Amino acid sequence: METLDTTPVQGDGGDVYMWMSPFSKGTSGGGQLPRGPAPKLSERAAGELDRELSLEELHEALQRMENGQASGIDGLPAEFYKAFWAVIGQDVLDVLRDSIRRGELPLSCRRAVLTLLPKKGELTHLKNWRPVSLLCTDCKLLSKALASRLTKILSSAKVNWTKSEAILVGEWGGGQPSLPGGLAWKRGGFKSLGVYLGTNEFLNKNWEGSVEHVKGRLSRWKRLVPKMSYMGRTLVINNLAASSLWHKLACIDPPPNLLANIQAQLVDFFWDSLHWISQTVLHLPKEEGGQGLVQLSSRTAAFRLQFIQRLLTGPRDLVWRAAASGLLCTVKGLGLDRALFLMDTKMLDISGLPMFYCGLFKIWNVFKKQNKGCWRSLWYMAGDWTCPV
């Protein structure tokens, strides 16, 4: 390992010491609270925050915790608490209530396991490793329960104008509306949650350097490929390389041939340039004779089917359903939205829809056609999922 000035770090415990010091107890900054009247909670809101913990809100917080997360020093993940909540729920509640009364959490909740996650760049430099604190599940359970109380009290109406953007869509006969907070109208598109949205020029920015990015991730493992099992190669491809595309593929369509180029890189890495069997066999589950290698076009098709499923059967308060329904109602002037998926899509003129929604009908048409057989997965789309309707 090396420091910022490339000085090698050697010796027993040297690396540990360098990562312990940022987490040691420091002195107070001596800052002062701002003067002036501070906003106060109403008696009802204060009573809601100060009331005693209940078993119901702990269980609700537990159900909102994601599975597969790293556990703390006790080694008990959220799955353990969910499986045995009927047995240990009351005990967990009693411990947390007693901790709140005494003003001190149990020792296991006041300790964390520090682990290092690699960032971009040369991994021999300490600056390219990010320390992460792994807390026990009961500590995270208490935090989530208290956070749910604060969510009901805190106002969510405040807008951070410095990080906000506004885009003007269409023609405005009466002139551009004025914007608050010093905002100015933009043309073309904007970036939201890591995705460029807007015109085709803006959309293409999402995929700039995608092939090189995947190739760079695979190159870090290239020298280890001869020593890796096929299962290990599949894990590297699915979890480290291909997964970097999921966020964007879930909401926008890639340019033509992009997925095919990246797929070729993935398969070439798996075989170490020696292709022994058909590529489509690799995408089958292991119990069906394959290796479970991800197929990018099939995964993209699965994202589109998930979108359709949520549109048709999702909760009533789905925030984007109104916008999706408004777009679908423009097809041939029929004024239909979800009912369009029950019709023969070959008879519909969907050329006026955005590319994403055109892709929905293409995938839906393929799915209905293949679903008449005995297919149990989407690997049959390993060819070109953008086949014509």
pLDDT in tens, 118-164: 887 777 788 888 898 999 999 999 999 999 988 888 766 677 777 78
pLDDT > 80? residue 322: yes
pLDDT > 50? residue 179: yes
Provide the pLDDT for residue 17: 47
Least confident segment among 9-13, 307-311, 314-318? 9-13
Provide the pLDDT for residue 80: 94
Residue 225 identity (one-letter amino acid): V
Both tokens of 316, joined, read 């009533």
Confidence of residue 379 (pLDDT cuts 50, 70, 90): very low
d(CA 183, CA 167) in angstroms, rounded, equals 10
Provide the pLDDT for residue 98: 94
pLDDT in tens, 256-293: 899 999 999 998 888 877 777 777 788 888 888 888 88
* C-beta of residue 269 within 8 angstroms of C-beta of residue 262: no
Between 370 and 21, the more confident residue is 370
Provide the pLDDT for residue 25: 55
Provide the pLDDT for residue 380: 44
d(CA 245, CA 12) in angstroms, rounded, equals 40
Closest CA to 293 of 284, 302, 301, 303: 284
Confidence of residue 81 (pLDDT cuts 50, 70, 90): very high
Query: What percent of the chain shows pLDDT beyond 70?
Result: 84
For residue 2, the cross-strand partners are 8, 125
Provide the pLDDT for residue 371: 63
d(CA 214, CA 234) in angstroms, rounded, equals 14
Provide the pLDDT for residue 87: 94
Q: Which of 177-186, 203-212, 356-365 has the highest mean pLDDT?
A: 203-212
SS3 of the chain: CECCCCCECCCCCHHHHHHHHHHCCCCCCCCCCCCCCCCCCCHHHHHHHHCCCCHHHHHHHHHHCCCCCCCCCCCCCHHHHHHCHHHHHHHHHHHHHHHHHHCCCCHHHHCCEEEEEECCCCCCEHHHEEEEEECCHHHHHHHHHHHHHHHHHCCCCCCCHHHCCEECCCCCCCCCCCCCCCCCEECCEEEECCEEEECHHHHHHHHCCHHHHHHHHHHCCHHHHHHCCHHHHHHHHHHHHHHHHHHHHCCCCCCCCHHHHHHHHHHHHHHCCCCCCCHHHHCCCHHHCCCCCCCHHHHHHHHHHHHHHHHHHCCCCCCCHHHHHHHHCCHHHCCCCHHHHHCCHHHCCCCCCCHHHHHHHHHHHHHHHHCCCCCCCCHHHCCCCCCCC
* Residue 36: HSE in the Cβ half-sphere, 13 Å Cα cutoff: 2
Both tokens of 259, joined, read 């997925």
Q: What is the pTM of this model?
A: 0.58
* Average pLDDT over the chain, rounded to an integer: 80
Provide the pLDDT for residue 313: 84
Provide the pLDDT for residue 66: 87
pLDDT in tens, 232-249: 989 999 988 899 899 999
For residue 116, the cross-strand partners are 131
Mean pLDDT of 85-108: 93
Least confident segment among 72-86, 197-211, 349-363? 349-363
